[in-house]
């Protein structure tokens, strides 16, 4: 039985801003872009969340929800430095560390001898050391697998810990709302609710074959998660899944023609980023993302599509009618395979 810890910093960027400037404490605070220049909220503190402000929300909309919201620009160099210190602390307990982002990571302590081999004591000690060393709080989840550890870390936020023992897994998962399952977004949740499935206990009634017919390949994953099964190993050496470039325009692009005209500089940036990747990555599938003026968005990707300006233009022509509205953001990118095939052949398509 594995022992997995998931560490998640509490409103990480905002917490560091409040730490470095105590005058910011106790008032609604967000870290993000300028509302007057189509900025987006990167994160916010809990005072701001009480007004409905959330990450990835347009800064202008966040200011409407919370007129007293203070928005400060991000200091990524500071955030990266603190993140490295947190990872260094975690590595003292196990080498099986999988960073997910600057503010969260998994740690496999199954074979660790620290704290008498207790995953709970290790998690508590990590939390204490981060608080004392860096002046911020983190929440922790302890469970037999990654799926449950991540859910547990969010259970008693902020500055909390949740432990799910092996003998508690079955009952805990049975009562878990399907909305909490990793990979179940609003659309899938709505489909499950329409089928009369609100909890994992109700989902267990469905046979594996039924879920496969109803949800395709994700049905297999649903069957496993409903039973608390997650055999994914730790990925100590993380590999990129995609490379992309996004741009939010100061003025909405009124129509498809304007979107097509905006593609060339984005594709040039994408080619530059691809050129900096190690050779064992291979571009395999182009995609385009459009966010419309009503904040709905669509992403279209197509295996075998040409990774050329003409190919991306065709993807844009197919994606735009899904909203058929002015566009505030365009993103272009490629999905990646990681093998021994070099990128050179694909990159030449951008030349």
Which residues contribute to the annotated binding site for Mg(2+)?
A: 8, 103
Token pair recorded at residue 207: 């046979």
Which residues contribute to the annotated binding site?
A: 8, 103
CATH number for 1-164 (one of 3.30.70.270, 3.40.50.960, 3.90.480.20, 2.60.120.10): it is: 3.30.70.270
For residue 117, the tally of other CB atoms under 10 A from its CB is 13
Per-residue pLDDT band for 22 (boundaries 50, 70, 90) equals very high
Chain segment 237-292, per-residue pLDDT in tens = 666 778 888 888 889 999 999 999 999 999 998 888 887 776 667 788 899 999 99
The CATH architecture to which 242-350 belongs is 2-Layer Sandwich (3.30)
Whether omega before 158 lies within 30 degrees of 0, making that bond cis, reads yes
Q: What's the DSSP call for residue 279?
A: T
Taking the domains of the chain in order of start, what are their residue ranges? 1-164, 176-225, 242-350
Angle of helix 76-91 relative to helix 119-134, nearest 10 degrees, comes to 140
Domain 176-225 has CATH 1.10.150.20: yes
Token pair recorded at residue 182: 């990793």
Beta-bridged to residue 298, according to DSSP, are 290
Q: What is the DSSP string of 169-210?
A: HHHHHHTSBGGGSTT--HHHHHHHHHTT--BHHHHTTS-HHH
Q: Which of 104, 167, 214, 220 is catalytic?
A: 104
Amino acid 347: pLDDT: 40
- Our answer to whether residue 214 is catalytic in this structure is no
Whether 242 contacts 336, CB under 8 Å: yes
Q: What's the DSSP call for residue 118?
A: -
Chain segment 98-152, per-residue pLDDT in tens = 999 999 999 999 999 899 999 999 999 999 999 999 999 999 999 999 999 999 9
Chain segment 211-242, per-residue pLDDT in tens = 999 888 889 999 999 999 988 888 776 667 78
Amino acid 104: pLDDT: 95
Amino acid 39: pLDDT: 86
Mean model confidence pLDDT for the chain: 89
**Selection from 153, 159, 169 nearest residue 6 by Cα:** 153
Helical ranges in the chain per DSSP H = 12-20, 46-49, 59-65, 76-91, 119-134, 146-153, 169-174, 186-194, 200-203, 208-215, 217-225, 256-275, 309-319, 344-347
């Amino acid at each position: 039985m594995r022992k997995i810890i998931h560490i998640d910093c509490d409103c990480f960027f905002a917490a560091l801003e409040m730490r470095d400037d105590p005058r910011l404490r106790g008032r609604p605070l967000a870290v993000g872009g300028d509302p007057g220049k189509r900025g987006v909220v990167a994160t916010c503190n809990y005072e701001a969340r009480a007004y409905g402000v959330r990450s990835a929300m347009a800064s202008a909309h966040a200011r409407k929800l919370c007129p007293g919201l203070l928005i400060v620009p991000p200091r990524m160099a500071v955030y990266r430095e603190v993140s490295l210190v947190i990872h260094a602390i975690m590595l003292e307990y196990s080498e099986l560390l999988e960073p997910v982002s600057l503010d969260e990571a998994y740690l496999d302590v199954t074979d660790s001898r620290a704290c008498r081999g207790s995953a709970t004591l290790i998690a508590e000690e990590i939390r204490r050391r981060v608080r004392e060393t860096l002046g911020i709080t983190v929440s922790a989840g302890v469970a037999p697998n990654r799926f449950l550890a991540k859910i547990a870390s969010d259970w008693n936020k902020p500055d909390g810990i949740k432990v799910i023992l092996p003998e508690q897994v079955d009952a805990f998962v049975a009562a878990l709302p399907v909305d909490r399952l990793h990979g179940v977004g609003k659309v899938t949740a709505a489909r499950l609710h329409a089928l009369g499935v609100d909890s994992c206990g109700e989902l267990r009634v469905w046979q594996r074959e039924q879920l496969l017919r109803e949800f395709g390949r994700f049905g297999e994953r649903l069957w496993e998660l409903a039973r608390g099964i997650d055999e994914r190993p730790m990925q100590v050496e993380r590999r990129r899944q995609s490379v992309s470039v996004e741009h939010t325009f100061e003025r909405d692009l009124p129509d498809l023609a304007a979107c097509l005209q905006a593609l060339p500089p984005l594709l040039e940036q994408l080619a530059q980023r691809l050129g900096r990747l190690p050779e064992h990555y291979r571009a395999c599938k182009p995609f385009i993302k459009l966010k419309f003026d009503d904040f709905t968005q669509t992403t279209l990707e197509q295996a075998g599509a040409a990774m050329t300006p003409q190919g991306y233009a065709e993807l844009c022509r197919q994606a735009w009618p899904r909203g058929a509205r002015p566009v505030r953001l365009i993103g272009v990118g490629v999905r990646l395979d990681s093998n021994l095939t070099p990128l050179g052949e694909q990159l030449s398509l951008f030349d």
